[in-house]
Chain A
Amino acid sequence: MPKVGARHATVEVTGWVTKFVGGDGSGRKLYTEPVAAGDTVRDILRRVSARHPELDAALWDASKRELGENIEVLVNDAVLGISHTLDSELQPGDHLTLVGQYMGG
């Protein structure tokens, strides 16, 4: 884990989702994002996905406002809905994780 500055959050792209950011579908890729006052989960995710078209296509639904069904988002290791929604403000030091949705047996 890289050292995160006082006004930054980290976005961790894991496992299968790394395929959408140039990875091989394993391990993780970390992105450090500056957090300004009022920045929400949605804002930070938008900034990261804007730099990665494949991730952008997989992460958002057709409206491009809401998350699609392909990727789960965790904030500080908790699934969205427990402590945060897309519109929750992020604090410096917060940690987002993108996990591939999984169905099957």
Chain B
Amino acid sequence: MTPTHAVQEAVRAVSRQLPGGYAGKLLRVDLTSGRSWSVEWSPEEMRTYIGGVGLGAKILYEEVPPDVGWDHPDNRLVLATGPLAGLPVWGTGGLTVVTRGALTNGATSTQANGFFGANLKFSGYDAIVIQGQAPRWVYLSINDDTVELRNAASLVGKDTWETQDALSAELGVSGHQLSVYSIGPAGENLVRFAAIQGDYGHVASKNGCGAVMGKKKLKAVAIVRGTKAVTAADPRGLFQAADDIAHDLKTNPLAKSLYEYGTLPGVVNLSKLGVLPIKNYTTNVVPEGVDFSRWEAPKLRQGFDHRGHQCNACGMHHCHIQVIPSGPHKGERVDEPEYEGWSGAGWTIGLTDPVAVSWLNTRIDRACVDVNEFGWVVGWVMECVEKGYITKEQLGFELKWGDADGAYRLLRMITHRQGFGDLLAEGVKRAAEKLGGPARECAVYTLKGATPRGHDHRGRWDEMLDTCTASTGTLETGNPVFPQEMGQPARINIFDGDQVAKLVAGLLGRRHFEDSLGICIFTTRTTIQNICQALSAAAGWPYALEEAVRFGRRTAAILRAFNLRCGIGPDFEYPSPRYGSTPIDGPAKDQAVMKQWERMRELWYEGVGYDPKTGKPLPETLTQLGLDWLRRDLWGK
């Protein structure tokens, strides 16, 4: 290095004062050439894009042009963490996957936890950006500064738990010292709702991100817990923030149930509100003869031999491993289902035995597909069989509501694209449209090709509107613990379309902020101000609510612009006939969402500052968000 270069380097180093909480580098991997390299990103970029979905949205928009579909080698698969990952705040192993997904062929943002985010940070990276397509099956191994693409031939055909076991043995590292995120046979066979699962039970499940990984012939990413330090700019302030957040989670009435039981209370609570999806939206009433007391949160947990399976630095009693207590699979170790598992592997398909649901849920994770889409597909098939729209001959066997063995058989057929499973592997929208006729009328999906989470949104219009208008193939907003913080009322009349639309528009951005930090959305069930306090202490920025909201809305606008460029516009912001139908029974009986749908969309567009005709964020909205470059792209001015 010449003296001049040395001076330039020194100047660059000083000007690049790294904020706390960041490793400062992105790992880039080109599977086609087998090359990997690291790139620095600037403190300015960190403040603007934070990490997670914020960073992923920027990369997606800049590097994936409209003619690069989900299955094109040039599609990017971004595995990003954020500035809180690896720091002593609860649930900071967070991973956000951003890509162009297989179900909507649009943007995807989907989260999982465990230890991936922390291990990646300790290895010296804030995110991995994967491009290209490997000539043969590989896995990515990261061990501090050693980054390798290794032969994965021996892993092909293995499910996600088997893959993690095999890599643990191969690398000689186990437990929290190794985080493995992998695809199962479903991803290998390009099932459009294939997911990416890690650390025995954490799933980045939305929009077929597993199919993207499969198309790239990347079986797994294995990260040994690195040895690089991650420091907060203000350690004392961070401990205080972590303490405040933990206190809130333990004491706030709304967060307390999550703290004690994770998402287990969801089944009982939502059933009373007409939001539990029972038998593919055919009813809102718990079938007679079901012992509903078994579905109370304490009973769900105490009904199994269980032990904690916490994520990085987490004190919540949320994730658990349990042992199947009875029946044909007695003794098998499974991951305690989240509410979404109880719903997708259970109620949606009429399966109401918690033991059977628990077993099936883990099989779904291991195979590895999105449990919600699985529920909508299988529930749809079960209803169609009952009504004669799909025959036994087409399916290859008898199938009835609540048939756990039949559902598992369908899972295997879907995973391996065998027989009728090949059609179902395309996801519920494509399968229903291909079958057409009355069968199509029974399917639950959005016109974009996504499906709801495990809720009956006919009793929760805010989430239906959010799901249909979102750019990510799933919910984009989500209710905060204190909606008042974002200028929204503590509660609304949930069947008043005007109030619903204003609420959903008013909350846009919060979820993107959370999903950019490398933290779990269940440990952010506190005030946004507390989360900002943690970010401020970690990075050393004075970060407040206003900037968080602006950041979230900026991210939403970039994702929307990406989708518009891909041809996904306002015409697709509708529920399918069944998804938007009027419940015929239960607590939401006769509440007709479609009567108010157009008005709701109109108000939503007004609230978020987008143009209802084109779907574009308005020029003034983009300028307010500091997105003049995007304004020029979208409006040419």
Q: A residues engaging B (CB < 8 A)? A: 14-16, 19-20, 24-27, 57-58, 61, 66-72, 74, 77-82, 97, 99-105
Is B254's CB under 8 angstroms from A70's CB?
yes
Residues of B within 8 A of A68 (CB): 253, 490-491
Q: With an 8 A cutoff between CB atoms, is B521 at the interface?
A: yes
Inter-subunit contact A25/B340 (CB<8 Å): no
Contact digits for B458-487, partner A, Cβ 8 Å, 1 yes 0 no? 010000000000000000001101110000
Question: Contact: B481 with A69, CB < 8 Å?
Answer: yes
| A69-B482 in contact (CB<8A) | yes
Assembled-state Cα–Cα distance A26/B274 (Å): 19
When chains A and B are docked, how far (Å) is the Cα of A100 from the Cα of B252? 12
- Pick from B258, B268, B296, B298: contact of A104, CB below 8 A: B258
Whether A25 contacts B272 in the complex (CB less than 8 A), given A70-B254, A102-B265, comes out as no
Pairs of residues from A and B, 9 with the lowest C-beta to C-beta distance, nearest first: A26-B296, A81-B493, A58-B253, A70-B253, A102-B269, A15-B268, A69-B490, A105-B340, A99-B272
Chain A residues closer than 8 Å to B479, beta-carbon distance: 69, 103
CB <8 Å contact, A25 and B296: yes
Determine if B272 and A97 form an interchain contact, defined as CB atoms under 8 angstroms apart: yes
Known: A25-B260, A67-B490, A103-B478. A79 touches B265 (CB 8 A): no
Interface centre among A26, A68, A74, A105 (most CB of B within 10 A): A105
Contacts of B296 in A (CB 8 A): 15, 25-27
Closest to A59 in B: B253
CB <8 Å contact, A15 and B265? yes
A19 contacts which chain B residues (CB < 8 A)?
256-257
Q: Which of A20, A69, A99 has the most CB of B within 10 A?
A: A69
Chain A residues lying within 8 Å of B261, measured Cβ to Cβ, are 16, 25
CB distance from A74 to the nearest CB of B (A): 7
Residues of A within 8 A of B266 (CB): 102, 104
When chains A and B are docked, how far (Å) is the Cα of A103 from the Cα of B466? 14
Cβ contacts under 8 Å, A24 to chain B: 298
Q: Judge if B38 is at the interface, Cβ distance under 8 Å.
A: no
- Is the CB of B338 closer than 8 A to any CB of chain A? yes
Judge whether B454 is part of the interface by a CB distance below 8 angstroms: yes
B263 touching A16, Cβ below 8 Å: no
- CB contacts (< 8 Å) of A97 on chain B: these are 272
CB pair B273–A20 under 8 Å, yes or no, is no
Residues of B contacting A72 in the complex (Cβ-Cβ under 8 angstroms): 269, 272-273
CB distance from A104 to the nearest CB of B (A): 5
The docked-state distance in angstroms from the alpha carbon of A101 to that of B482 is: 12
Interface contact A14-B272, CB-CB below 8 Å: yes
In angstroms, Cα B561 to Cα A22, docked, is: 51
Contacts of B171 in A (CB 8 A): none
| Chain A residues within an 8 Å CB radius of B121 | none
In the complex, besides A74-B587, A104-B263, 5 extra interface pairs with C-beta distance below 8 angstroms are A25-B296, A25-B298, A68-B253, A78-B587, A79-B495
Given A15-B265, A57-B253, A99-B269, the answer on whether A104 and B293 have CB atoms closer than 8 Å is: no
Known: A15-B296, A69-B482, A71-B253. A105 touches B263 (CB 8 A): yes
- Collect the chain A residues with CB atoms within 8 Å of residue B257's CB: 16, 19, 25, 100, 102
Most buried by A among B265, B454, B493: B265
- Give residues of chain B (41-88) contacting chain A, Cβ–Cβ below 8 Å: none
Minimal Cβ-Cβ distance residue in A for B481? A69
For the complex, give the distance between the alpha carbons of A66 and B484 in Å: 13
Residues of A contacting B522 with CB < 8 Å?
104
Is the CB–CB distance between B272 and A105 below 8 Å?
no
| Among A14, A16, A57, A79, residue most surrounded by chain B Cβ atoms (within 10 Å) | A16
- B320: Cβ under 8 A from any A Cβ: no
Closest to B252 in A: A70
Closest to B588 in A: A79
For residue A54, give the distance in angstroms from its CB to the closest CB of chain B: 8
Q: In the complex, which residues of chain A have a beta carbon less than 8 angstroms from the beta carbon of B587? A: 74, 77-79
